Amino acid sequence: MDKRYDAVIVGTGAAGLYAALNFPESVSVLLISKRELPLSNSSLAQGGVACVLDTVHDNYKLHINDTLVAGKYKNTLSAVEKLVKEGPADVLRTKDLGVDYDLNPDGTMCKTLEAGHSRHRIVHHKDSTGKAIVDALIEQVKKLPNVDILDNALLYSMHKTLGGFYLSVLKDGKSLYFGCNYCLLATGGIGRVYQYTTNSAIATGDGIAFAYMLGAKIRNLSRVQFHPTAFAAEANRERFLISEAVRGEGAVLLNCNGERFAHNYDKRGELAPRDVVSNAIAREALRTNSEKFYLDITHKPADFIKSRFPMIYAKCLEEGIDITKEWIPVYPCQHYLMGGIDVNLHSETSIDGLYAAGECAHTGVHGANRLASNSLLEALVYSRTAAEDITRKLQKYGRKPLGLEPAHRPITGKKMPSGFRSQIRAILQDAYFVLPKPEKYDESYKKVEEIIKQLFSECYEISSDLVEAKSIAVVASIILDEVREGQS
């Protein structure tokens, strides 16, 4: 073992970083980042953070109700109440930690409206709120004397012992081994299980796969959210998001004939929850026999658009689209995961000492569909909760002996054949997209299981390709098994 810690955090998005900031200096922490620190789904979050800061025009009950409506009342009410009531304090703390939220002339935080919300309650930094939060938290974490940071480090094995965990990490071509009493998985989403996603390259469901292989309960993994307005760039697997806030500021959806259509499917039109709008686009595509759809905000002043959405304006301009004058080509793609590693209100999984927070966790907050801008709030609230619970247990029980260190398999082996990940992505994209194809579930599940058998039976060289192929295979298998059994 190279070093022992009280707690290891795997993942450096908003959840992982904020958790690190909520441990006292007496707790030793290792923070593991698969790639460079700023690369995470959190950094790509555009819209903002939903929270009740204006109690004159808004209240907790309204935010809770909006969350339940979007989630089709399949949410865990106690988890939603915790999110909404505790969230504002965490958001204000991130402001104190240096997050540069947009402010009104009187110094209060600007609040915008997004689909599914009944009040203006989304605080933001332009159209790159996630990046503003992550960048500020990284700077603060780097100052912590009790936190070691290991970036560009691949977790490839986890072992549970009576007293904690042993973790095997690949760094610069060499294996490193760490022990800890407690482990927090904050590894983000599963976007790379699909052909097209708004997620970053690292979103391969690693934490979910490791938790599953340890025996943790995984819940509602088939509750995948498809965002209705990703930029329709066919050449790129990773598609950049056209934020919910663009529709919140008045943009309208148009079909291939330049006609508005969203109100034909739901009275809330463009401001219906994401799954409703995505479904409307998919059904309109069948009606018109075309996948050409557009978002139009050209009726707004050009200066407003450039000021409110500078990143989206610049990204679209790179693709040859001036959104102040032209329609934005959009189409639904994989965006978020409502299910994940099942946790309680303390963010602990079904395995003693193993915690999860952020997108990889199933808190029950989102129900069947996530309400816009609740994700960053969830990452903050439940990662802080995990850090607090781990700290309480360390204070109560002390540092437990870890037990015998497991034997380590060599990282060498034969090279894994290419193509596994592409096969899995094609299977999921075809069988389980916005309008699912139940008739393909059984066949798709069998194909993925065959891939899993090959990946886990052969002694391949340890690499990011192998770890990520195993992860997306396990995730795809769980999703397809759930929908086959009608569990979600």
Q: What is the pLDDT of residues 302-324, one digit of tens each?
A: 999 999 999 999 999 999 999 99
Whole-prediction pTM value?
A: 0.92
Token couple for 467: 């770890």
**What's the mean per-residue pLDDT of the chain?**
94
Token couple for 93: 């703390």
For residue 123, count other CB atoms closer than 10 A to its CB. 29
pLDDT for 42? 82
Q: Active-site residue 4, yes or no?
A: no
Radius of gyration of the chain (CA): 22
Question: Is residue 275's pLDDT more than 90?
Answer: no
Alpha helices in 319-419, H assignment, sequence order: 375-397
pLDDT for 45? 75
More confident residue, 302 or 39: 302
3-state helix, strand, coil in the chain (%, to 5): 40, 20, 40
Question: Is residue 161's pLDDT more than 90?
Answer: yes
Structure confidence at residue 234 as a pLDDT band (50, 70, 90)? low
Q: Please compute the mean of the pLDDT values over residues 336-343 and round it to a whole number.
A: 97
Q: Please compute the mean of the pLDDT values over residues 371-384 and round it to a whole number.
A: 96
Q: What is the pLDDT of residues 235-257, one digit of tens each?
A: 655 688 898 889 989 999 999 99
Mind spelling out the 3-state secondary structure of 64-107?
HHHHHHHCCCCCCHHHHHHHHHHHHHHHHHHHHCCCCCCECCCC
Using the 8-state DSSP alphabet, how is residue 218 labeled?
E
Catalytic residue among 247, 274, 308, 370: 274
Token couple for 437: 């194809």
Question: Is residue 158's pLDDT more than 70?
Answer: yes
Q: What is the pLDDT of residues 405-434, one digit of tens each?
A: 999 889 999 999 999 999 999 999 999 999
Question: Is residue 488's pLDDT more than 50?
Answer: no
Provide, rounded to the nearest whole percent, the portion of the chain with pLDDT above 70.
99
More confident residue, 6 or 275: 6
Question: Is residue 331's pLDDT more than 90?
Answer: yes
pLDDT for 70? 92
Residue whose C-alpha is closest to residue 80's, from 92, 90, 91, 66: 66
